[in-house]
Amino acid sequence: MTLQQILTPAIIEAVQKQFDITIDKIEFQATRKDFEGDITMVIFPLLKVIKGNPVEIGTKIGTHLVQNLTEVEKFNVVAGFLNIVISDAFYLTFFNGIKDNSSYGFVEASSSSKAVMVEYSSPNTNKPLHLGHVRNNLLGYSVAEIIKASGKKVYKTQIINDRGIHICKSMLAWQKYGNGQTPETSGLKGDKLVGNFYVAFDKEYKVQINELMTQGKTEEEAKKQAPIILEAQQMLLDWEAGKPEVIELWKTMNQWVYDGFAQTYKSLGVDFDSYYYESNTYLLGKEVVQFGLEKGIFEKDPDGSVWIDLTPDGLDRKIVLRSDGTAVYMTQDIGTAIQRVKDFPDVGGMVYTVGNEQDYHFKVLFLILKKLGFDWADSLYHLSYGMVELPSGKMKSREGTVVDADDLMEEMTTTAKSISEELGKLAGYSDEEKAKLYRTIGLGALKYYMLKVDPKKQMMFNPEESVDFAGNTGPFIQYTYARIQSILRKAEFDTTLSVSIELHPKEKELLKQIELFPETIQDAARNHSPALIANYTYELVKEFNSFYQNVSILGEENQDKKVFRVQLSKKVADIIKLAFQLLGIEVPERM
């Protein structure tokens, strides 16, 4: 039972007895460092129902707690805050209850609970994954792991945008300039090879636009009349008509890209339970339009197009079927959501990891699904995130100025290597061990830097800053984990005993931080925010380092205290490992 769960009913009882008032909600917060106390009750909200001086109200509640709870030793009231001092016995009992729990804070999913489907990545098959995809993948994967740890079954999925004019551009450029190149003959990953032809198309397209403009065409006319864009448009029509040679080329080049993506996902440490392809889903949703028309949710215009009027809901009028009977993206997304629940009947909610430029799209999508009467539509969430920028500015795919995901991971490993070599603490490591450690540190730095920022915020990614071994960084936390492993390796005595000691203030602070871990996971799941896990872990590590600097561990003469401090250190390491597991980050045993 958590401290809040123990205190809450006792405070409710105190308010009932002292003031004859029934309350159901109590606000707690951490006690400020400059006051004595382990947890603080905020009295101000009670002033709405209890007339009186907040100090007197707090004193009466505090007195009741001391008299009725063995866990409460004493209290003090400062203005509208009741600072409560908790006994050592409570923290020692708590610690002995969790010290051997290898999955402390994680909740097993019950067989009856509804599953959550988390969609992330969802790339186009005309270019490699880039820095923006890295943030998307890390966020989606981490949120999926956090929701799973909070006690829900989770399916990870993506929808691959494998059709459309952008795909045809790469295909056409390969036909024109590829000379039969393949990933094998070129020595390039398939996604990079195809991406090069997407860039090649754009270069030729710009040349042709300029030529037409010199002949007197306006820029808009030139863009529409350039021969290469007309050829790409014809290729798209041929694809939709099922022309065999176009379909064959499309399958071949897409497979190159899928193979390339698979390597990147493996390097990044993310995975998926299912895949959806736009080439299979782009016709989905059309039958739902008829259902919506019959129910009066959709309306047909005189030209045959079908719309939904969302102006009463503060949105606009949205098309769901063109006059020629073709679907729009919204229709496809409606159909795909419905198909997913058919494929996975235990799904009761979905999380879409998509950039914030699509905020409006998802408001409309979720509202339409609600109006269509799907009960799971109330449990849809858009994990909207800000764009990633570099100190050098924005990225552009068509111009080939993106930061490639593979190159970025390689750069992070190289940066970790140079910083580690400067620190010079790798004596006795084999080359293979060093290479693995550099990768663990480099990727840990990248992931932590990306995930410690609130997803909704736009972020600037600075590779050098992220690999700093001090401050709120992945390597700083990894180094603390490795330091604890070193302590554990040197502890040549029985560390499994249960002991009872008087706690040092630094030990108590550390235990208070440890106690917050389960609720932090639940908060992070509710808020779809890996940043809460990342920053919790940083606070835990700061508390441990303060404890490490102020309290002797292996040099302690009292055996019980020494055993307890090693156990406490081990628990901190266990939580770092579990928290980093939720962020998709590995921890090294030595650094």
Tokens of 284: 């989905």
Give the helix ranges, DSSP H, for 430-558. 431-451, 463-466, 474-490, 505-515, 517-527, 530-550
CA 398 → CA 126, 127, 196, 438, 454, distances in Å? 10, 9, 9, 32, 29
Q: In this structure, which long-range contacts are made by residues 41-49, counting pairs with CB atoms below 8 Å and at least 24 apart in sequence?
A: 41/7, 41/11, 41/81, 41/82, 41/84, 42/80, 42/81, 43/77, 43/80, 43/81, 43/82, 44/80, 46/15, 47/80, 49/21, 49/23
Residue among 383, 384, 334, 330 nearest 356 (CA): 384
Q: Which amino acid is at 373?
A: G
Domain edges within the chain: 3-86, 164-279, 405-582
Residues shown for the chain: 591
The torsion of the CA quartet 418, 424, 429, 433, rounded to 10 degrees, works out to -30
222 Cβ partners below 8 Å, 6+ apart?
Answer: 208, 209, 210, 212, 213
At 397 the pLDDT is 44
* Domain 405-582: CATH class, spelled out: mainly alpha
E strands in 161-301 = 274-277, 299-300
Residue among 39, 30, 42, 41 nearest 90 (CA): 39
Q: Which amino acid is at 459?
A: M
E strands in 244-292 = 274-277
Q: How far apart are CA 351 and CA 356, in angstroms?
A: 14
214 Cβ partners below 8 Å, 6+ apart?
Answer: none
At 395 the pLDDT is 44
Report yes or no: 461 and 450 within 8 Å, Cβ to Cβ: yes
Per DSSP, the three-state class of 73 is strand
Pairing mode of beta strands 299-300, 306-309: antiparallel
Q: How far apart are CA 508 and CA 73, in angstroms?
A: 14
Q: How far apart are CA 442 and CA 429, in angstroms?
A: 17
Tokens of 562: 């020494």
At 393 the pLDDT is 54
Question: Alpha carbon 377 to chain centroid distance?
Answer: 22
Tracing tokens 């679907």 back to the chain, one arrives at 327
Residue among 520, 544, 547, 548 nearest 534 (CA): 520
| Phi, psi (deg, nearest 5) at residue 9 | -60, -35
Q: Which amino acid is at 250?
A: W
Q: How far apart are CA 318 and CA 365, in angstroms?
A: 10
At 401 the pLDDT is 55
Give pLDDT tens digits along the chain (591 positions): 889 999 999 999 999 999 999 999 999 999 998 999 999 999 999 999 999 999 999 999 999 999 999 999 999 999 999 999 999 999 999 999 999 999 999 999 998 889 999 999 999 999 999 999 999 999 999 999 999 999 999 999 999 999 999 999 999 999 999 999 999 999 999 999 999 999 999 999 999 999 999 999 999 999 999 999 999 999 999 999 999 999 999 999 999 999 999 999 999 999 999 999 999 998 899 989 999 999 999 999 999 999 999 999 999 999 999 999 888 999 999 999 999 999 999 999 999 999 999 999 999 999 999 999 999 999 999 999 998 887 765 544 444 456 889 999 999 999 899 888 877 778 788 999 999 999 999 999 999 999 999 999 999 888 888 888 888 999 999 999 999 999 999 998 888 888 889 999 999 999 999 999 999 999 999 999 999 999 999 999 999 999 999 999 999 999 999 999 999 999 999 999 999 999 999 999 988
422 Cβ partners below 8 Å, 6+ apart?
Answer: none
Tokens of 85: 């001092």
Pairing mode of beta strands 81-86, 39-42: antiparallel
Q: Which amino acid is at 114?
A: K
Look at phi and psi of residue 444 and say left if phi exceeds 0, alpha if psi is from -120 to 50, else beta. Answer: alpha
Q: What is the CATH number of domain 3-86?
A: 3.30.1360.70
